[in-house]
Amino acid sequence: MRGRAMTPRDGTPDWRRRAERELPRGVVRVVTKDDAALDPALSTAYVPSRLLVSTLLPPDAPTRVDLDTLVAELGWALEPERDRRRPRLEEPDEVRKERLTRYPWAAGTPGTERFVLRKAQPAAPTPDAWDVLREARARGIELPGVGLEHVGFVEPFHSTAPFHSTAPFHSTAPFHSTAPFHSTAASPVAEYDTVGGGGRQVVDYVGPDPATSARKPAGGAVVAVLDTGCGAHPWLDPVVDRTTFAGVGLTDPADDPERHPDQLGPLDGIIDSGSGHGTFVSGLVHQKAPHARIVPIRIAGSDGEWEEQDLVDALVELVQRVEQGERIDVLNLSLGYYHETPVRSQFDITTAELLLRLRRAGTVVVCSAGNESTDRPFFPAAYGPWDPEPAEGSPWIDPGDGAPLISVGARNPNGTVALFSNLGPWVQVYERGAAIVSTLPVVRERGAEAFAGGVQAAGADPLGGLQRETIDPDDFTGGFGIWSGTSFAAPVVAGLVAAELQAAAAEPGIERSRDASRKVLDRLRG
């Protein structure tokens, strides 16, 4: 269960659900070069009690037998999760045949099945999914399509990351903190986490809604945003479509981060790190494409975390609906994770293949590059083209027959690259994403909570019937804020592509998407 439930008697948060949210869903496992007789692995966050098995792997594949045998020898058992029914994709024969030329084992259809590890022998150690993969590699057993269930994050910049590593592996792509960063040896990057330095802070905006000052284009564009959802806002309400893709993603209103911003931690009213993220992202799309229809799909909680199976399930449903005739011109993914073994021989391709299905339908995919000041590949951004291509090849083989996948790093207001932004041969373009202004939820419906935290104004002196006070640092009820992260550079690019698509006279399709993307990238690269 995610989020808060209200007690029937007094409407206060149910402590049980709040406590459940505080339990870590993923753990960090660091495998050094000296650890076991294995290829070295990198830091990542994952759910230790689960394995994901790609449905690209046929049910009768020998890999499944090898996996069951190995798990049994470790004293564990592997059981399929049966608490929900997952969508399955149909696939044309020519699509499968093409993929088999790249991945001979992948004769099924894109998707994943979640399996739970449990003890089968009392003396066996506590099951851990990484131990299964590590043991398989030590024995020379190949398990294509079998992987950890990674815990990813939406991407605002934040310095108080729940996992620590010399090579950080997560962020929700905005930079965030509820208070200025303090450290005896703070990195300059930490400035982005402070009020006045680009951290989430209150701001007012007195200009017009972009839609009132922009000419309505002849063509329309649809931008889907997989994120924390989208709250109510006067700018967004006329353009947000909550019905066409209803039922995709997480749907329980009780744990909607855009309606209930404080679901975690002490009962102090502090706004959670991921709350408001999806609304902020949607507002940036709207600023660049004021008349584009925005489709918000929630897969992350108020902490900004999401589980890999939830992302896969949402993508499967999007592929189904797009191939049945619904339209998505641009998909914005201001989220990601770091893979523990991002090399072609040990990398699961399921998410990349699902995004390829959308791209083959003409959808441009725009991804944030991550906020850890590293060139370590961040996925799904690193599914795009690499320049130069690594000698061993990029982790996933792109056949090159779909609309573009664009990876976006962040720039500062003066045009320099933000110090927090990831970089590397897999980052294609940089756009403004630091100390940027956008929308935050405004209470417009019953049951939603004000987007305001527990920190109070530093001083107040009511006089003459006037409520006089200093600025309340976490009262966002005005509907706007400042934030930083590659999370926010990506939707600027997504909005630019959507606007270019709206201006194009050509029919929707791959060539139209490529042309619009090329124009935007050429403009941004100067």
Active site residues: 227, 277, 487
- β-sheet bridge partners, residue 27: 46
Six-digit token string for 522: 């050429």
Rounded CA gap, 410 and 432, in Å? 5
Six-digit token string for 83: 């608490």
Rounded CA gap, 415 and 421, in Å? 13
Q: Which helix (H) or strand (E) element contains residue 57?
A: none
Nearest to 486 by CA among 395, 425, 415, 412: 412
Six-digit token string for 56: 């690209």
What is the DSSP code (8-state) at residue 5?
A: -
Whether 524 contacts 493, CB under 8 Å: yes
**Token pair 């049994």: residue:** 72
**Peptide bond connecting 388 to the previous residue in cis, omega within 30 degrees of 0:** yes
Give the Cβ contact number of residue 80 at 10 Å.
Answer: 9
- β-sheet bridge partners, residue 432: 411
**Token pair 């699961």: residue:** 348
Residue type at position 91: E
Rounded CA gap, 443 and 232, in Å? 7
Residue type at position 370: G
Rounded CA gap, 48 and 39, in Å? 20
Rg (CA), the chain: 23
Nearest to 92 by CA among 364, 317, 361: 361
Give how far Cα 218 sits from Cα of 129, 478, 501, 502, Å. Answer: 52, 32, 11, 7
How many angstroms from the chain centroid is the CA of residue 387? 24
Handedness of CA 243, 249, 254, 256 (dihedral sign): negative
How many angstroms from the chain centroid is the CA of residue 17? 23
